[in-house]
Amino acid sequence: MVVGALLGVCVTLSSVGAGAFGAAILLTIYSQIPAARIIGTDIAHAVPLTFIAGIGYLLAGYVNLPLLGSLLIGSLPAIHLGSRLSSQVPERLLLQILTIILLSLGIYYSLSNI
């Protein structure tokens, strides 16, 4: 429950929590669960979480609808591909890919504030 509350705050404030932060926390706490299952759980958790946060931002006037449409057109087909690949990629490789993505994001955001 505490992890869920932490992720809820992070997603609402930064939009980072649902994917990157959520997966990292879940992989750390539940290291015995396969990475593909953690990623699937994190995504299933992110859907209602980000939907509710998105409605709040939409009602406040903070959503660029043309950009949202463009993102959805590109993202929706890629979701199918990514979910199929994650079930076929070896566990170790999936963890390495996730580590590289999270590390790269951390370095990028750390340096972008300088």
Chain segment 53-100, per-residue pLDDT in tens: 889 999 999 999 999 999 889 988 888 888 888 788 898 898 888 889
Q: How far apart are CA 45 and CA 8, in angstroms?
A: 10
The per-residue pLDDT for range 32-50, each reduced to its tens digit, is 998 888 888 888 888 888 8
- Contact in structure between 96 and 90 (CB atoms under 8 Å): no
- The count of structural domains within the chain is 1
- Residue 97 φ then ψ, to 5°: -60, -45
Structure tokens at 104: 């790269």
- Contact in structure between 79 and 85 (CB atoms under 8 Å): no
Structure tokens at 81: 């591909």
Query: Which range of residues forms the domain containing residue 102?
Result: 2-112
